[in-house]
């Protein structure tokens, strides 16, 4: 498994409740750009329309060696999930007010996969508390090494 892109900001801004692995429907020049590492999922999110999960805001750069029939860099891409997972996630989003964001994009057995997460937004004091906990854990690890 080769990780291509990560959304580290999501782990800072949200509480992660549940994660799912989804395939992504791509064009030929898009997968070539992803294999070259030219993808940004920092400000992207997932919506649910007409029984499909859609990735919005992911930026995949144009492939340099492709022809004039290149892909649009920021377009809505369909995520491939089971219907039961789509139903469960869309109900959580509409009823509980949670969000779904991508955490990372990776290649698994030659296929492009997206790890998406059901998340709940953090307040400012929650962010400070998680930073404090992480700092304490790092200090403890340093002391244990000595």
Domain boundaries, given as residue ranges, for the chain = 2-145
Give the pLDDT confidence of 22-77 residue by residue, as tens digits: 999 988 888 888 888 899 999 899 999 999 999 999 998 888 777 777 777 788 99
pLDDT above 80: residue 18? yes
Q: How many residues does the chain have?
A: 146
Strand partners, 101: 117
Task: List the structure tokens of 66.
Answer: 């492709």
pLDDT above 90: residue 21? yes
Give the pLDDT confidence of 79-127 residue by residue, as tens digits: 999 999 999 999 999 998 899 999 999 999 989 999 999 999 888 888 8
Q: Quick one: fold of 2-145?
A: Small Protein B; Chain: A; (2.40.280)
Q: Considering the entire predicted model, what is its pTM?
A: 0.82
- The per-residue pLDDT for 45 is 93
Task: List the structure tokens of 37.
Answer: 């590492």
């Amino acid at each position: 498994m080769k990780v291509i892109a990560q959304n580290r900001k999501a782990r800072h801004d949200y509480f992660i409740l549940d994660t799912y692995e989804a395939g992504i429907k791509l064009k030929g020049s898009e997968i070539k750009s992803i294999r070259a590492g030219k993808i940004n999922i920092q400000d992207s999110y997932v919506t649910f329309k007409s029984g499909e999960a859609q990735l919005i805001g992911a930026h995949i750069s144009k492939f340099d060696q492709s022809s004039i029939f290149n892909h649009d860099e920021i377009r809505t891409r369909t995520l491939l999930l089971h219907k039961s997972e789509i139903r469960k996630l869309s109900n959580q989003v509409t009823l509980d007010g949670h969000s779904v964001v991508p955490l990372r994009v990776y290649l698994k057995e030659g296929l492009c996969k997206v790890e998406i997460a059901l998340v709940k937004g953090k307040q400012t004091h929650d962010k400070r508390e998680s930073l404090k906990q992480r700092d304490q854990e790092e200090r403890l690890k340093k002391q244990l090494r000595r």
